[in-house]
Amino acid sequence: MSRAGLKSVTAPLAVLLLTALPLSAVEAAAGAAPPKAVDWPHYRFDEKHTGYQKFETTLNKNNIQNVVRLWHGFLGGELVYQSSAAVADGVAYIGEEDGTLSAIAADGCGSDSCRPLWQSSYLAQVTSSPAVANGIVYVGSQTGFDDNSGKLNAFDAKGCGKDVCPPLWQGKMPTGDSGSSPIVDNGLVYIGNDGLYVFDAEGCGKKLCDPLWKGKVQGGIGSTAVVYKGVVYVGSSHGALDGRLYAFDAKGCGKAVCKPLWSGDTHGATYDSSPAIYKGIVYIGSYHAISAFDAKGCGAQSCAPVWQVKEDDFYFYGSPAVANDRVYIDLEDRVAVYNAVGCKNCQGNASLFGSGNQAAFAASPVVANGLVYGARNTGELFVWPADCKGSCYETKKWLLDDPLLNSSPTIVNGKIYIGSSEHGFGGRLDVFGLPD
């Protein structure tokens, strides 16, 4: 972000300079308050789910070596599994596998260990990442310990004035927590289950709501949907070897069950990969491929990808991040980097490796201010230069207490938030940043 100061000048020249300067410089010259803190309201940060946080200005290549763990939120319960933090209006929200949504002050509590501001009532299981919109926080869950049906849960983002808060309302789904995270767009909430379920974001006036409509897919959905130009895209899985990207009219079809506008073969299941959109292309991972589809489709019911990289002997994990014409996605023991515009016989632009004991990267990388962040199942958080060419090892890594680390990092306002556990027992939200 550009910064500048102005000396006393004649009025006409001052007007010209103020007109030419970026808004941030004008505000600084006028003694205005600093910009409002940036929110990370849902999984993959922005409305196109690119995993690219372009507003980060604090953490950079020059100071990342100085970053330390500042504090952690102790959530109790069990480990954080897959759920990634949302940060909005000064509060961080994250789910635990034991069925709890927790809200924690994003700036901590002045101590090394902080307790939640409030937690949800028992939700049986939460591997979904929360989404915050218009004062409501949404998260997917299972219904109960002995009830494997699924639920969309809506809470007041400020809590209820008590330590434990029940949902304002819930949406009905037939099967348990799939790992699909809710997204909110144009007054609707979209979440995956045995299909794509769509609810009114304000509920239905009752405690338990039926969906407005359901998008029909083959198999189930663990993928998180994304809406772009009136179309909602989501991945599905039908067994380990069969997966597709589906595109639906975001408004539905006027019926209870809607067929897709089109779909495309992803060369494998898309259990935990969610589509990202960049320059009119939809990128999605599957077990054995990274695929790029034209967001407009192809004029037919079944569309081939614009380009696709297949790795039949290796596994891709998580969702792609897309920034500055590069696609970043976890590929077993590395983060693989590809040219976003594609290529023939793609071998990748770069590979981001981690030193030490090897295990899978499975947390979905994110990009912010020239750096790529990722996590590995050795309990380690890594950072690399985003412009790496060839093979690169980390610039910095941090060891957490959790041997299983698959929560995607959240990078916002100079801090790194990531879900973990106390040696595999008891959930945590670890927060890193520059020391005071």
Q: Which two tokens stand for residue 153?
A: 């849960």
**Six token digits for residue 126:** 């939460």
Per the CB < 8 A criterion, the answer to whether 195 and 175 are in contact is: no
Helix (H) or strand (E) holding 291: strand 289-294
What is the topology classification, in CATH, of domain 45-433? Answer: Methylamine Dehydrogenase; Chain H (2.130.10)
- SS3 sequence, 199-228? EECCCCCCCEECCCEEECCCCECCCCCEEE
> At residue 339, what is the residue type?
N
Pairing of strands 366-368, 52-53: parallel
> What's the CA gap between 117 and 104, in Å, rounded?
5
Q: Which of 346, 402, 397, 349 is nearest to 371 (CA)?
A: 397
Task: Report pTM.
Answer: 0.91
Do 142 and 124 contact (CB within 8 A), yes or no? Answer: yes
Closest CA to 213 of 188, 177, 236: 188
| Cα 322 to Cα 420: distance, rounded to the nearest angstrom | 25
How many CB atoms sit inside 10 A of residue 272's CB?
Answer: 26
Show me where the domains of the chain are located: 45-433
Listed residue (388, 377, 382, 292) closest to 336, CA to CA = 388
Going by C-beta distance under 8 Å and a sequence separation of 6 or more, which residues neighbour residue 343?
Answer: 307
Query: Per-residue confidence of the chain (436 residues) as pLDDT tens digits?
Result: 333 332 233 333 333 333 333 333 333 333 444 468 999 999 999 999 999 999 999 999 999 999 999 999 999 888 899 999 999 999 999 999 999 999 999 999 999 999 999 999 999 999 999 999 999 999 999 988 888 899 999 999 999 999 999 999 999 999 876 789 999 999 999 999 999 999 999 999 999 999 999 999 999 999 999 999 999 999 999 876 689 999 999 999 999 999 999 999 999 999 889 999 999 999 999 999 999 999 999 999 999 999 999 999 999 999 999 999 999 999 999 999 999 988 766 767 899 999 999 999 999 999 999 999 999 999 999 999 999 999 999 999 999 987 789 999 999 999 999 999 887 778 999 999 999 9
Q: Which two tokens stand for residue 142?
A: 């299972």
Q: Which residues pair with 375 in a beta bridge?
A: 381
